[in-house]
Structure 1
Amino acid sequence: MNRIIMHYDMDAFYASIEMRDNKKYLNKPIVVAGGVVTTANYEARKFGVHSAMTTTEAKKLCPKLIVVPVNKDKYLEESKIIQELVLKITHKAEFIALDEGFLDITHIVHKFSSKEAFGNIFRKRIFEITGLSCSVGIGINKLTAKIASDIHKPGGQYIFNSEEEFIEFIRHKKIRKLPGVGVKFEQLLTKNNIFLVDDIFKFSLKELTSKYGTSRGELLYTYSRGIDFREIDFSRSTHSIGNENTFRIPIDSEIEISREIEDLFNWSYTRLIRKQMLTKTLTLKIRFQDRETITRSKTRSTPTDNKEILKGMLDEIFTSVEFKKDVKLLGVSFGNLESRSNRQLSFEKLY
């Protein structure tokens, strides 16, 4: 079966979060920066402002530029929300940064009317939950998905269904369009009259590796043809198991809040058992309508999967929280995980 890979990329992630939370920044050029720009919104990019530029340089290009200090904790929190949403769709996911990741959707996309419909629903759901836009690319591998996600930025999507479609798109683009071709490599290639991706096709793999070395030669040959065998790295150990629910209409009844938390607990506990994991830590997350977010955790000395014990921990946390404001989001998760089989093995070694 041919693979179907999706790449999502949040649009101007840090800057978009700041604009969402501070309406005074809307339609104005802003950057999130310390001494160096980490993210520029699209209004600032029109002036040539980009990441890795010093704020002094950026202000020369755009005198009315607004510089917003970096709030990494806030951006990390938003990233977790997005990643948890992705993991509800599939665990065949690889997060390569706070604001982007790959999904292997080969075995789930058939549940939707088309690849286009899947991408549309994904982008819509991200926006509904976070108020942020993302761009999506769907392709036959990581390479094609990554390049596709950049074509209709911001907020759009593009799909490559075959190597032929990709080649037709990429062949007339500048050679720098290929991932892995940096400034210095581009300069070397242009000295040899290689300006466009199309210029690569006249060379064999042997000629390219002989001229530019095995690694760079293979990169030019394979990437120009849409060939990429890299797998989605979803084998990383699970750090937590849980679930969140964002409410379109905030809830204010303590009875309703309690019922939602119990549902989240049961859903998360089912996943814990299914994955044959034990846990030491239970965490309750609450986001109020004004976006204030609090987390409360309780940790025991030994791991367990006993439902009564874990529910007792949750009840202790719940009674310690004051619900004076409407609730927009609730989440229950288990952390400090340990495989039940590993735990059993450690006991067996004692005998």
Structure 2
Amino acid sequence: MTAVGVRETVPEFVLLTGSLGSGKTTLLCDYLSLPESADTGVIVNEAGEINIDGAIVSAGRRDLPMTLLGNGCLCCSLGDDLHVAIEELLAVRRRSGAGGFRRIILETSGLAMPGPILRSLMRYDRAEYRLRIVSTLDALDPMTDDAMFPVRSAQLIAARSIVVTKLDRARGNEIGAAELVAKQFNPTATLIAMLDRQARARAVFAPGQIDTSAAPSQFQAIAATNHLRLGVFLAEWSAAVSWADLRDWLEDLAGFCGDRLLRVKGLVSVVGVPQSVLIDGVGTTFAEPRRMESDPSSRRGLVIIGRDVDLTELTAFSDGYSAHARPVMKKSSMRAA
């Protein structure tokens, strides 16, 4: 994790995830039919050996810069395949003389966990991208069985935007149920539920979405999911904390929880930094912290979402730190607005 800083605008890398059959390819094709997608490159990954989604996507745009990942499911073994795919995509673009990409979209398999993909992207140092995670949510089937729950929950919790799909086939109560699921899993995500498919695709991939971040008021709308294995917690410091202490605490939290840590996100007051600092972690991988202007009276703290984690062990973990570095740990009792 690097020191606090402000990043310049750079191309974005959109990780498009979501459960099997939830409409990822349809959403991507809708966007690629729009003129503003001309400066977009695409990487497609399938869980099986037959690249059906790649064929569908390329059929809609014969001039589309696209590469395929043939290693099966991205949640299993990445190696350097993703890096090679990015290099191939950039090489094709250079040969065309069309200049750089404004964004690259990676459509993952419905079985993909975001964590391994993020760790692989963190090791890619040939170019810089701003990462944004988008997850689709099927309005006709927003829930899942126990076998797929870890994958589905990780996808939704990691997302900055959750897109409700198949709205043209869903009834009003089904759409409302899907929106409630999205709020329960990730109340800080931007919820996109538009009936018009092109408007929905434009809202998902529009450049204005790049710098969208959770408003401080959303700390008042943290939902606790009913699923027994998930816990939503809040870590709060009584005063501004030094960056060194905060960094150590976050790194130790990641090591302590391991794969049980699903999401860490919030605003923290850091010594010597006039703005609030946005901390954003998916699994044990953290984005570069960003300075954020916010209302001084707004609540500060880190939302922690974990699987098979309880308040007692998080409190015991934090008690090992000195008073100025130790946050107060609470189990969230807030409700979605």
Which TM-score band (shorter chain)?
under 0.3
TM-score, normalising length: structure 2:
0.23
Question: Normalised by the size of structure 1, how large is the TM-score?
Answer: 0.22
Structure with bigger RCO (C-alpha 8 Å, 6+ apart): 2
Which is higher, the Rg of structure 1 or of structure 2? 1
